[in-house]
Structure 1
Amino acid sequence: MKAISTYFIAPVLVLALLCTSSCKKALEEKPFSFYSPENSYKNASDARAAINGVYGELYTYDLFIQPFWNMTVLDDDHVSGADWFLGSTGAGNPQNYWGVDGPWIGCYTIIARANTVLENVPNITEIDPEVKNRILGEAYFLRGWAYFQLVQLYGGVPIRLKAVSAENPETNIPRATVKETYEAVIADLKAAEANLLPYGHANAGEPGRVNQGVAKAFLAKTYLTMASGASSGNVTVRGGVDNGYYTYAKDVVKGLEGLDPKAYYTLARDKAQEVISSNLYVLTPNWVDLWSIAGRNSKEQMWEIQSLAGSAFINNLGVYFSARSTFGVGAVWTTNNHYKDYDELDKRVLDGITHNYQTLQGTYIFYPLSQAAKYKVVNGINYNNSGSTTAERAYTIKYSGVADPTVANSDAFYPLLRYSEVYLMYAEAENEVNGPTSTAYDALNAVRFRSFPTTGSPAMPVPEAYAPASMTSEQFRSYVLAERARELNLEGVRRFDLMRWGIYLQVMNKISTGQNNISKVRTTKNLLLPIPINELNSNTAIKGNNPGW
């Protein structure tokens, strides 16, 4: 196979052309590897083509064209939507969704391709050593990222660190424990951190590639996930039928029993601090700019799924999440209850929710009914229809900043890591280690201040911007969890937060039936996804599916 362009977008476009001709075709045709071992790895172009093939799986019908975000974003307490779209995954029935096997297949495809890179690129001599190490770092990172997703979604999984070959023919690999899987994640992310280059380095690569700061942040996120999963204590969450505040005694996540939470929180805090102390990243001053075309790949958007208008490299995020859609209106929105968890001055709801829009059919709608004085008449246009079950919908703007919002598939970018989350990880971890110290407050308020107006001279954040003073450790813990929900709403984080804190079942079942009659009832089987039947049939070392499946 000839080497592909060194530009990252090229291999993605090639893969998109292969994968998007039809949903059915994409599901039936599963190439084992984009860059097979039969190819001779001779020079830098071969190495780049190989690592591009690893990234390429992110842009398929296994992962981020739809299945991965469908099975994570749609399954939490703060999301609602059309019953025709949320009736499977969004209602706790992922087995009824056509893409249910996607995360498993996609992650293991990434792993297989990364293994091939790690085994062959070291032998290349016609390459800049710095670029060579970076490519190896990318492969380590993507493999570690894939195992991180797998262990969160499925529990302990088979660990495959070598490509299947004549020398390594064994395909029947038993499941590792949860702890062993996390150990594999950490080992890969540490190797990635050691090999990758810092953001802004001349050889760090094009936008869309991971760098050293991304590896550090995901190490912090891994440690944080393990620490919170192993912790005991209480968490207060706003929700239920009445949108009240309920305190839950958290469950220890199965498989993480006996871990030292404080030790892992210390690791998480220190690694997040390394990212912050690097001074390579900054919060975008104006929150709404994050979601514009100009705001893509900013110093806050640390890692995004890329897209390109006018090509096959597009997705349907915009059509599902935006207020105006080729469906008429979008199919996914933030619940009314979560909307009420924002202060009225908070730009994340003031600017981040679409308050006035026109449907495809021409109807003018405003949101919410409770703020009719502000949104019913705007620029001489009368907006109506609020108060009905079809209109009380808080649509996000996060996926609306596209080149052409009138088409079904557009160039929305999907955030995989933002710098604001690093601050919130630091705040959470520092609180769990030392309590709500001034540094924990500073990290928390750094995220809040950006989203509120200022007042006075010199300009200072308005009083509403400050997190409540003198919170206890438990109150601070709960507040950070709520702040993560406000900051990272509909970015695929909330479900994982509820899971790692061991409160997913309690929070979901407290709602029972949510907005638009979407069922939030969950049972213990919903704590993990089902392992694909094809995997169980082909890998006889796995002795059964996850509980309940």
Structure 2
Amino acid sequence: MKAISTYFTAFATGLILLSASSCKKALEETPYSFYSPENFYKNESDAKTAINGVYAELYTYDLYLQPFWNMTILDDDHVSGADWFLGTTGAGNPQAYFGWEKPWVGCYAIIARANTVLENVVNINNMDGDIKNRILGEAYFLRGWAYFQLVQLYGGVPIRLKSLSATEPQTNIPRATVKETYDVVISDFKNAETKLFPVGHAKAGEVGRVNQGVAKAFLAKTYLTMASGAATGNVTVRGGTDNGYYTYVKTVVAGHEGIDSKAFYTLARDKAAEVITDNQYALTPSWKDLWSIAGRNNKEQMWELQSLAGTAFVNNLSAYFPARSTFGQGAVWTTNNHYNDYELLDKRVLDGITHNYTTLQGTNIFYPFAQASLYKVVGGITYNNTNTTTAERAYTIKFSSVADPSVANSDAFFPLLRYSEVLLMYAEAENEVNGATTLAYNALNTVRFRSYPTTGTPAVPVPAAYAPANMNPEQFRSYVLAERAREFNLEGIRRFDLMRWGIYLQVMNKISTGQNNITKVRANRNLLLPLPLSELNANKAIPGNNPGW
């Protein structure tokens, strides 16, 4: 990789510090190029500006403006879309996508900036000690987060824990092993956990910043990823061309050999339990409200990518995912097969999928064709559906609530961590340690209950809300995996789930050609993304690319 300068463009204090009264001011950009660390890091204001520069990379065309979500959301078994958009990453050919190198570049930019913060903020004396610790904690977390993404996407990667400088000039660094990379992730998340404050603390930082609970949850997620990668056994998944149930033999994911699966599942369970018992977070009662503008930064959205209309801090999620978009209709939708994996009363499809919409060209369409009695005539308006790929599109509402849906780049918020995932991590881990216990069922059903109506006095969830009773560990494992797919549809989690369980190739190839003629055929090389050519050309310690690339 080309030397990453210790100089960087930092952003004005409050880059992601969104509040109702100061959003615009908080997100204005101010360049600080060509400031050396010796001249820049003088006081608390400089430290805040520097850590904002680390967060800033999330907003670029390296990461969440498009490339990162493109390469993680579009490549799974439950997504379909326009062939002009899914014909690259969505068809297993990421190198044909313009942004294929960007996740690597973006993650290493975060790492480089975080290193600079860690090396320099610690030496600032003219600032509040608690704020100093918090900023160092944020830097540790963001660096750990970047390595966590890298190891999942690319395998073991070069570890750079110091800024490149005259005293640290080495650019030729070999790849660490997968386990060594995870060791860095764990260390950074642990450091972040000890330095960050709980959410709601007076010094925890403004909305949009990571806090102690987020660090704990990502530590649990790291343990869970390692544990599932090392596990063996069977997993049953609904899919294939007939949307049937197929059982796959799971093998150890490459690089996870020698990891004690049960020990790491225990660590994952215990850390997730800490977040749950802290009682700082809660599920949003209404699924629909969770995705509204008013529902942003609520107690369930533990960490959200902040955006602000009319500034540089936007993304183009709302151009691709909603039913009505700047293209006329959205370019990404949920497959019909996955839609059918939800029960009829599940609000994640009743409220979470757009059943009636009008395209930009003025055509009224309803979905799905099989439920015409519910959606063909609504509010005196007749909607049409030709029962073709043109009409049979299950669009999510998740990125629809924006200030101005008529512009390509808007203020859609993106969930980086939800409390519902902590509950499902606990359920999965407890099952792998002790079986499908009452504790595991309680965590699983808590997530399910939110998505179903209640009945009776006092009100209780309807029978369909409860996960099937008396499941054995293998059945419970498969059910939690399916529940995660229902809960986090099109949030960039499904691909990682299939990968960490070692069933990605089997599940994808069982489909072969999916909805809208999007190929799901994958080869061994698709288990990891290709390394950027710029890295291979600059870093002579890496002898070649990932297998097959």
Alpha-carbon distance between aligned partners in 1 of 2:164 and 2:293, rounded to the nearest angstrom: 41
Counterpart selection for 2:13 from 6, 21, 25:
6
1:186 aligns with 2:193: no
The structure 1 segments of at least 4 consecutive aligned residues displaced by more than 6 Å after TM superposition are 10-19, 31-35
Q: In structure 1, what is the equivalent of residue 370 of structure 2? A: 370
**Aligned equivalents of 1:9 and 1:198: distance in 2?**
18
| Amino acid paired to 1:520 | K
> Which residue of 2 is the match for residue 325 of structure 1?
325
Q: 8 Å contact 1:171–1:539 — kept in the other structure?
A: yes
Give distance in 1, aligned partners of 2:359 and 2:60.
Answer: 30
Specify whether residues 247 and 431 from structure 1 end up closer, same or farther in structure 2 by C-alpha distance, changes over 3 A only: same
Give the superposition deviation at 1:311. 1.9
State the partner residue of 1:75: 75
2:100 partner SS: coil
Residues 84 and 534 (structure 1), Cα distance of their counterparts in 2 relative to 1, 3 Å cut: same
- Alignment correspondent of 1:24: none
1:479 maps to: 479
| Alpha-carbon distance in structure 1 between the residues aligned to 2:174 and 2:9 | 37
Rounded to whole Å, the distance in 1 between the matches of 2:204 and 2:29 is 28
Q: 1:32 and 1:506, CA in 2 relative to 1: closer, same or farther beyond 3 A?
A: farther
Could you say which residue in structure 2 is the equivalent of 1:282?
A: 282
Q: Which residue of 1 aligns with 2:348?
A: 348
What is the alpha-carbon distance in structure 2 between the residues aligned to residue 506 and residue 18 of structure 1?
A: 46
Normalised to the residue count of structure 2, the TM-score between the two structures is 0.95
Query: Any conservation in 2 of the 1:404–1:410 contact (CA below 8 Å)?
Result: yes
1:310 positional shift: 2.1
Q: Deviation per CA, 1:20-42, whole angstroms, max 9, x where unpaired?
A: xxxxxxxxxxx998975253311
In 2, Cα distance between the equivalents of 1:51 and 1:461?
45
Judge conservation of contact 1:368–1:386 (CA < 8 Å) in 2.
no
The equivalent of 2:85 in structure 1 is: 85
Matches within 5 A, 1:8-407: 8-9=15-16, 36-407=36-407
2:534 counterpart of 1:527: no
Note the C-alpha offset of 1:167.
1.1
Query: How much has 1:287 moved relative to structure 2?
Result: 1.2
Cα distance change of structure 1 residues 462 and 36 upon mapping to structure 2, 3 Å threshold: farther
Contact 2:453 2:462 in 1 (8 A): yes
Q: Is the 8 A contact 1:193 1:216 kept in 2?
A: yes
Deviation at 1:309, TM superposition (A): 1.3
**1:514: how far off?**
0.2
Distance 1:339 1:121 in 2: 49
Q: Is the 8 A contact 1:282 1:299 kept in 2?
A: yes
Which residue does the alignment assign to 1:444?
Answer: 444
Asked if structure 2 preserves the Cα contact closer than 8 Å seen for 1:15 and 1:59, the reply is no
Contact 1:3–1:46 at 8 Å: present in 2 too? no
Q: Which amino acid aligns with 1:205?
A: G
Distance 1:6 1:32 in 2: 12
Closer, same or farther: CA 193–277 of 1 in aligned 2, 3 Å: same
CA distance in 2, matches of 1:464, 1:35: 60
Alpha-carbon distance in structure 1 between the residues aligned to 2:88 and 2:236: 28
Q: Which residue identity does 1:304 align to in structure 2?
A: E
- Deviation per CA, 1:112-140, whole angstroms, max 9, x where unpaired? 00000000001001111111000000000
Q: CA 1:168–1:2 in structure 2 vs 1: closer, same or farther (change >3 Å)?
A: closer
Aligned to 2:514: 514
Partner of 1:23: none
Q: Distance in 2 between matches of 1:218 and 1:389?
A: 38
Q: Give the Cα separation in 2 of the matches to 1:89 and 1:307.
A: 25
SS at match of 1:141: helix
Change (3 A) 1:206 1:34: farther
Contact 1:4 1:10 in 2 (8 A): no
Find the counterpart in structure 1 of residue 4 from structure 2.
none
C-alpha change, 1:9 and 1:217, in structure 2 (3 Å) is: closer
TM-score in terms of structure 1 length: 0.95
Q: Could you tell me whether the CA contact under 8 Å between 1:3 and 1:45 is conserved in 2?
A: no
Residues 427 and 480 of structure 1 are in contact (CA less than 8 Å); yes or no, is this contact kept in structure 2?
Answer: yes
SS of residue matched to 2:395: coil
| RMSD, aligned CA | 1.9
Pairing of 1:428-443 with structure 2 (within 5 A): 428-443=428-443
% identical equivalent positions? 77
Q: 1:16 to 1:513 in 2, by over 3 A?
A: farther
Whether contact under 8 Å (2:234, 2:249) holds in the other structure is: yes
CA distance change for structure 1 residues 153 and 329 in 2, over 3 Å: closer, same or farther? same
Of 435-444 and 282-291, the range deviating more from structure 2: 282-291
Contact 1:234-1:474 at 8 Å conserved across structures: yes
Counterpart code for 2:218 = F
Q: State the 1:386 CA deviation.
A: 3.8
Distance 2:122 2:139 in 1: 12
Change (3 A) 1:32 1:158: farther
Alpha-carbon spacing, 1:3–1:349, altered in 2? closer, same or farther (3 Å): closer
- CA 1:259/1:456 → structure 2, altered by over 3 Å: closer, same or farther? same
Name the amino acid aligned to 1:392. E
Q: Supply the distance in 2 between the matched residues of 1:199 and 1:485 (Cα, whole angstroms).
A: 27
Contact (CA 8 Å) 1:13, 1:312: kept in 2 or not?
no
Q: How far apart are 1:14 and its partner, in Å?
A: 10
Instruction: Figure out how many residues of one structure are paired with residues of the other and give that number.
Output: 538
What amino acid does structure 2 have at the position aligned with 1:439?
L
Q: 1:33 to 1:230 in 2, by over 3 A?
A: farther
Contact 1:62/1:99 (8 A) holds in 2: yes
Q: Equivalents in 1 of 2:198, 2:29: separation in Å?
A: 33
Following superposition, the deviation at residue 68 of structure 1 comes to 0.2
Contact residue 4 and residue 45 of structure 1 kept, 8 A:
no
Find the aligned partners of 1:167 and 1:49 in 2 and give their Cα distance: 25
Partner of 1:27: none
Q: Deviation at 1:465?
A: 0.2
Q: CA deviation at 1:2?
A: 11
Distance in 2, matches of 1:321 and 1:350, equals: 17
Q: Is the 8 A contact 1:13 1:311 kept in 2?
A: yes
Alignment check: 8 A CA contact 1:80 1:334 kept: yes
Return the alpha-carbon distance in structure 1 between the equivalents of residues 424 and 360 of structure 2.
38
Match of 1:540 in 2: 540
In the alignment, structure 2 segments of 5+ residues that lack a partner are 1-7
Shift of 1:7: 2.1
In 2, the alpha carbon distance for the partners of 1:542 and 1:431 equals 40
Q: Tell me by how many angstroms 1:8 deviates.
A: 3.0
Is the CA contact 2:14–2:26 (under 8 Å) kept in the aligned structure 1?
A: no
The unaligned stretches of length 5 or more in structure 1 are 20-30
1:385: how far off?
A: 2.5
Per-residue CA deviations over 1:75-112 (Å, capped at 9, x if unaligned) read 00000000000000000000000000010000000000
Asked if 1 retains the 8 angstrom alpha-carbon contact of 2:342 and 2:486, the reply is yes
